[in-house]
Structures are given as structure tokens and as C-alpha cells.
């Protein structure tokens, strides 16, 4: 069990979400060592989210997991994107 240090909330016009619910990814500071992030669908844990940071301020492993989750959500698995 690892502490979830980062939460990425995916907003937008996804047809997969219900009103007020969003896909989100919870990650530790070293997500690859802890088995990756935990994808969720529903109401993000806003009460536990501290403050917003920019994508560039995430650790590299977290950025890669967020990009992979984003590609999966939007069906962009074959797209080349650099972080």
C-alpha cells in the first residue's frame, strides 16, 4: 500500500462520464515502483486534494502515466507525444 501523493483529474467532453464525475488517476511520488497509478471513475476526492500544480511539476514517471491514461481515454494509443 502506498500513499497517493498526486491526483490527475481528466476533464472535458468525454462521453464516458456522468455529470459531476470525471476519470482521475491517483499516484504516489514514485508510481512505477509502487505498481503504477490507480485509475478511477467517479467523483474525485476534492476534500483530499491539496493544491493544483502544473503538468511540468509532476515527476517524470507520473507525467508518463498521465499521458498514457490520457491517450487511452481519447483513443490515441498510437500517437507520438513528448512530455
Measured CA to CA, the distance from residue 15 to residue 8 in angstroms comes to 18
Q: How far is CA 17 from the centre of its chain?
A: 15
pLDDT for 63? 93
Cell of 17: 462520464
Entry pTM: 0.74
The pLDDT tens digits along the chain (83 residues) read: 456 788 998 887 666 667 778 888 888 888 777 666 778 888 877 888 888 899 999 999 999 999 988 888 888 876 555 55
pLDDT for 1? 46
Amino acid at each position: 500500500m502506498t500513499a497517493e501523493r498526486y491526483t490527475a483529474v481528466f476533464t472535458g467532453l468525454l462521453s464516458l462520464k456522468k455529470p459531476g464525475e470525471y476519470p482521475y488517476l491517483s499516484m504516489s511520488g514514485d508510481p512505477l515502483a509502487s505498481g503504477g497509478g490507480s485509475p478511477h471513475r467517479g467523483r474525485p476526492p476534492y476534500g483530499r486534494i491539496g493544491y493544483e500544480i502544473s503538468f511540468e511539476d509532476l515527476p517524470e514517471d507520473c507525467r508518463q502515466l498521465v499521458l498514457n491514461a490520457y491517450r487511452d481515454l481519447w483513443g490515441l494509443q498510437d500517437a507520438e507525444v513528448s512530455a
